[in-house]
Structures are given as structure tokens and as C-alpha cells.
Chain A
């Protein structure tokens, strides 16, 4: 398999087949929390893409250049990763707020949400720590694969979030029964949305 093919499969696998939101239940709080509005969904998608890629690269270095050499990866990876991510996100937020108010307004306000988004930690850990998720793909990537992988995850996050948010926008005016309005309907929709992803299960053996 050529490198391009491999990266392509990695992208399809991480974005669609193993869609982080709909098939693996990671990052659901923002998925439901901020999908009410299309603009916000856009902003969040951009922010997640940015942070996820950055966080994965940084954790890759922290893991392979610090934790593993010191032999403490087994029990320190959780605090170490999340510390790096939290600090990074907070730093970016402060930076944007000061230096680029425009970008801050469109993207920065989602950053605090992302600090504690499971998706970022999960994607980073998955890409960096071998065997974290039991999946058909071989993990414990090199830096390049880790980054491609996290981009894929972020794209999958974006696709699901945007389509879900467009759906919710349409359902806003729906005459759905009073007792099911709002949150329950959103979950129902997510359930049916994920039905389509069932069909992608194990595609390309991913």
C-alpha cells in the first residue's frame, strides 16, 4: 500500500468509519450543547480541528521524548496529556483574545469548551499511546500518522456536528410533541443519524 493510500484509509477510518461522535460516543457534550446554531457549529469545528492537531503533536513529543524515556508512561500519561492540552488551549485562547479579536470572536469562545472535551484527549491518546483503543488499525503512530489521524478525527467531528446542527436548525420549527421537544428529540435525531454510520462499520476492514 502506498503512503498516500495508507493516509487516505487512515482519514476515512478516523473520520467516517470510526466517527468519534456518532459511533464512539466521544465529545458528545459539545455535540449536543452547541449544535443548536449553524454558525457556532462552524466555529467549533474550526477550533477542534486546530486544537486537536496541535494537541496531538505536542502530546506525541511529551510521550515519546519525556514519559517513555523516564519509564513513567504507564501511570502518568493521563495527567501529563491533559495538563499539556489544558495549558495549550488556555494559552491559545489568551493569545487570540489579545492578538486577534476577530478570530477570537469567531473561534476563541469555543476554546474553553474544548479544554475538557473528551474528543481532544481521546484523539491524542489514541494516536500517541499504543493499544489505547482496540481497533483494527495499528496505533502507536509516528508523528506524521498521528497528525493525519487527528485531522481525520477532527473532520469526522466536523461532519457530524455540522450535519447535526443543520438538522436541528430545520427541526427548530417542527411541531414535534411537547413532551419530546428539545433535548429528547436531539438525541433521537442523533440516534437515527448514527444509523447511517452503522453501514460503514468495518469498511475497508477499518
Chain B
């Protein structure tokens, strides 16, 4: 269990897919203008990650290495299509916001990277930890980024029609934050922040009982 936890935790901070490994950046920067959409993006990625990791790690023995990439990618694409179709059917407003970014989860570097890099070499148990850890890490960062961009860039955070947070009325939200330059710039600071955090975590690990 402790191994499971440590694999899971790695995805949150020291091996965070977005701020450390720097994979899966596209959808993160693209959809993080709204917390609502980002949350579902995070969940969608987590779902695909979990399902494909589990499937890959259970079937890895039968998949010859020469064709592993095509096989993995078909598996992933199938789960993505499932998400795509279900979201269209059940959450049309969220789907309208996320648009093409759902199909593009297929090529989200994070998903294939973990399938190939982790699940292919580990059992189901640890692979699920990795998938959930990476998924949580991904979702955490993307929601954080979205929260910053939405509240500072539009002045409010609106979640399914309800206003969660609003800046004072005098606040003139700078649009740049919700436009594409803002995505990069805010993310730069999020990465800097998380790096600082990671340094502290590492320092603590170093100091800890040997």
C-alpha cells in the first residue's frame, strides 16, 4: 500500500505531468479559461488514463513490442471516443466548451506516455496508482490555472451558472489572461510556484530521518 501511495503521490508533485514532466500541455493551456471546463477536462483525462493504464498493464504480456504503439493508441482512442460520445450526449454545454480538445486527448502526450512508460512495465495495481496520481496532478494544475485565469481575467468564477467567486465591481479584468498569451504567462508563474514547492518537498525529504 505504501508503494501505491508513493507512486500516486509522485504524480501530484515531484513528477507532476504538467509542471515537471511537461507533457499534456496543449489541452491544459487551451481549456484553462474556465474552471468548469477544466474540471471536466481533468476528469476526462483521468478516466482515459486510468482505463488505458489498466487495460495495457493487464494485457501487456500479449502485446508484441513492435506493434505496441498502434495497439495502445487504438485502445486509448477508443476510450477517448467513449468520453467524446458520452459527453456530447449528457453534458452538451461542457462539450461545447471543450470542443475538439476531447478528441485530442488521444494525442495528449501524457496518456500515451504513461501507457508506454509506466503501465507497459508495471502491474495493474501500481499502474492504477500512477494513472490516478498523474490524473490528479493534471487535474489539479489545470483547475488551478483555470481558477487564476478565470477570476483575474473575467472577474468571476462561474460554475454551472453559479458565481463562486467575484472580484470587486471596480475591478477591470484584463482580457489578456483569458487570451492565448495569458495562458503561457500565467502558466509560467504556476510552474515557478510549483517548482518552489517541489524544492521545499525535496529539501524536507533530504532533511528527514535517514
Chain A residues proximal to chain B, CB less than 8 Å: 22-29, 32-33, 75-76, 78-79, 82-83, 86-87, 90, 115-118, 120-122, 125, 132-134, 179-180, 182-188, 190-192, 194-195, 197-198
Contacts and interface: CB of A to CB of B under 8 A. Distances in A.
Given A25-B30, A118-B104, A190 B184 contact: yes
B92 interface: no
Contact of B25 (A29, A75, A76, A82): A29
A90 B182 contact: no
Contacts of A22: 180
| Interface size classification for chain B | 35 or more
A22 B25 CA distance: 12
Contacts of A75: 81, 85
B144 interface: no
Interface of B: 19, 22-27, 29-30, 69-70, 73-74, 76-78, 80-81, 84-85, 99-100, 103-104, 106-109, 112-113, 179-185, 187-189, 191-192, 195-196
Nearest to A129: B103
Interface SS of chain B: helix
B81 to A, nearest CB: 5
Contacts of B109: 29, 116-118
A185 B195 CA distance: 12
Q: Which of B108, B181, B195 has the most CB of A within 10 A?
A: B181
Contacts of A122: 100, 104, 107
